Structure 1
């Protein structure tokens, strides 16, 4: 069985290499901000960070594919690095410390390694296939994490994304049904929701609109922590356009609520 410990160590090196760039620009008056065609925020630091990550990968993994949020895909082969230089750019440009660099590795279309580096929170989360999921500041200062053991929806804590992202969505009513059935609902958003599920602080997190760069690093962390990561249809992995992470015990019930298969008994 292939192991990816060397790739995981490299991911930490990559995160170290870009940390100064992201932290120096965070809350800086000189930070340049613009908007993409879809209306999402883009900062100068997003582009600079991805360029740095690509530069290091071109030297250390020159034969691998590199796919990022901001720049075009390069390379050919079965190993694909998937980068989100700053996940949570809207937080980043407003001075909110909940943002992270996401580094994922997909081999033969399987997500095998992921690292989430959130330097403003002084935290990282990471996992590689067969090696468990961990959190801490570095490989040498780490604690293994596991999902919760909550097994009933009415006892569960849910994190969602922006409420407006459900407007017009086919499963909006199912989501509202699920949210009403849960014990507690918050909107931590972005990577933060999913790593909180991985470490057992939350029981589920749901986003109706995401891209591969948002999820490739998260899927291995959730699964190695004992949880499950799918899209809204229940397809495992980060390759859909939506995300559902859970402790695993609740996942089938979550999908049932989202489909609207259960009668609404909350009113």
Structure 2
């Protein structure tokens, strides 16, 4: 008598198919990131014209636009059944695979010659991130993840952290000028001061994707952001979670409570095993305050 459960074999087959599909998309993202990274690295620390989008704190260069076009062409040639949302060019295509692309996350750093910026590329199917790549061309660090594991330059990575926040290193962009407008300057600076006094080290390097990837690799213990977009974080969320870290999304009153984590405008990114009460409390206060000020539809 054959006691095998056919559903088990079917589930295994589907899982393997999904993994193979994920790996295929990850390879595309890796190829696109490296292809864009080469001309970006060549342009880094050269003379360049800087333009501004929303305000003087929101910069863009021709290299952002060129890199996004290169990535778009690479993706659509490799996988025609694609659609892409890029920071610079908006939504393009109508395929079933939705890509989220930030050609340079950390443009202000890139434009000034500060070596903390990256290329971020994620693939989403049926609402779930199935492939993610964050590439730092200056250090030649390629963080990537399929649906099973996360890697740094092809080697499996595991997130780690210290247990006490007083010994931990935190990366956060908070506060920036728009946080002053949203939360009030005195309140925002008071919250930042509390983090500085509590954590061993607080750094503000200026790239959400690369910051979260550093948490995934165990380079830092935690990261936090309160004004991100899907193209900033989609890839890094998968890399962090599959490295054993924890990604806690914050809606900040801007998206529905059941939104996918990569669509939420705020986040806490924790290394494996980390849970820092002061950071949780500050983040909750920011979230509650902004939610309370959000107009009711």
> Which TM bucket (shorter chain)?
0.7 to 0.9
Match of 2:175 in 1: 163
Q: TM-score, normalised by structure 1?
A: 0.85
Check conservation: 2:118, 2:137, Cα contact below 8 A.
yes
Instruction: Point out where structure 1 has 5 or more consecutive residues left out of the alignment.
Output: 137-141, 261-267
Which deviations, in whole Å up to 9, do the C-alpha atoms of 1:105-150 show, x marking residues without a partner?
11111122111111112211111111x11112xxxxx332211142
Which deviations, in whole Å up to 9, do the C-alpha atoms of 1:183-236 show, x marking residues without a partner?
322223313321221111211101111111111111001101101112235976
Of Structure 1 and Structure 2, the greater helix share is in 2
- Shift in CA distance, 37/186, structure 1 to aligned 2, threshold 3 Å: closer
Q: What SS does the aligned partner of 1:217 have?
A: helix
Q: Within 5 A, what are the aligned runs for 1:52-131?
A: 52-130=70-148
Q: What SS does the aligned partner of 1:238 have?
A: helix
Tell me which stretches of 4 or more aligned residues in structure 1 moved more than 4 Å: 168-171, 173-176, 233-236
Q: What SS does the aligned partner of 2:28 have?
A: helix
Q: What SS does the aligned partner of 1:101 have?
A: strand
- Shift in CA distance, 233/68, structure 1 to aligned 2, threshold 3 Å: closer
CA distance in 2, matches of 1:182, 1:94: 28
Match of 1:37 in 2: 54
Out of 131, 146, 160, the position equivalent to 1:148 is 160
Instruction: Point out where structure 2 has 5 or more consecutive residues left out of the alignment.
Output: 1-14, 286-297
CA distance in 2, matches of 1:201, 1:20: 25
RMSD: 2.4
Query: Which protein has the larger Cα radius of gyration, Structure 1 or Structure 2?
Result: 2
Q: What SS does the aligned partner of 2:176 have?
A: helix
CA distance in 2, matches of 1:100, 1:110: 22
Check conservation: 1:98, 1:121, Cα contact below 8 A.
no
* Count of paired positions: 254
Match of 2:280 in 1: 255
Structure 1 stretch 185-194 or stretch 171-180: which is displaced more?
171-180
Structure 1 residue 49, shift from structure 2 partner: 0.6
